[in-house]
Amino acid sequence: DQQVKQNSPSLSVQEGRISILNCDYTNSMFDYFLWYKKYPAEGPTFLISISSIKDKNEDGRFTVFLNKSAKHLSLHIVPSQPGDSAVYFCAAKTGANSKLTFGKGITLSVRP
């Protein structure tokens, strides 16, 4: 049972445009959501997070939106840069001491 779903395996965008990466979840008990970015042969690096009490969190070019009623979150990257090309994992947890549940990841390619 996949509780965190990233249904699109890949996304390709032009440099300078907006990248929108989507994530859906089924467990209504999730209360904290994170995005990780992973380059090949490296470990994932934390990108941005959002608590369920908020609907938006912004950090530079990265913004995460949370729609609790739809059980949907999205990561917006604007403007996209070639260095953003990587695999992006959505992850969620149900409380301070619960384990992270990861989605399958989405491969973003930013074309120069």
Partner 1 sequence: DTEVTQTPKHLVMGMTNKKSLKCEQHMGHRAMYWYKQKAKKPPELMFVYSYEKLSINESVPSRFSPECPNSSLLNLHLHALQPEDSALYLCASSQGGTGGGKLFFGSGTQLSVL
Binding site residues, partner 1, CB under 8 A: 32, 34, 36, 41-46, 49, 89, 91, 93, 95-100, 102-105
- Cβ atoms of 22 and 35 within 8 Å: the answer is no
| CB 8, CB 24: distance < 8 Å | no
Give CA–CA dist 34/62, Å, rounded: 12
Decide: 4 and 91 in contact? Cβ < 8 Å. Answer: yes
Q: Minimum CB separation from partner 1 for residue 79, in Å? A: 26
Rg (CA), the chain: 13
Shortest CB 76 distance to partner 1, Å: 20
Q: How far is the CB of 98 from partner 1 (least distance, A)?
A: 4
Q: Which is nearer to partner 1, 25 or 89 (CB)?
A: 89
Q: Quick check: helix, strand or coil at residue 46? A: strand
Nearer to partner 1, 91 or 108 (CB): 91
Nearer to partner 1, 16 or 46 (CB): 46
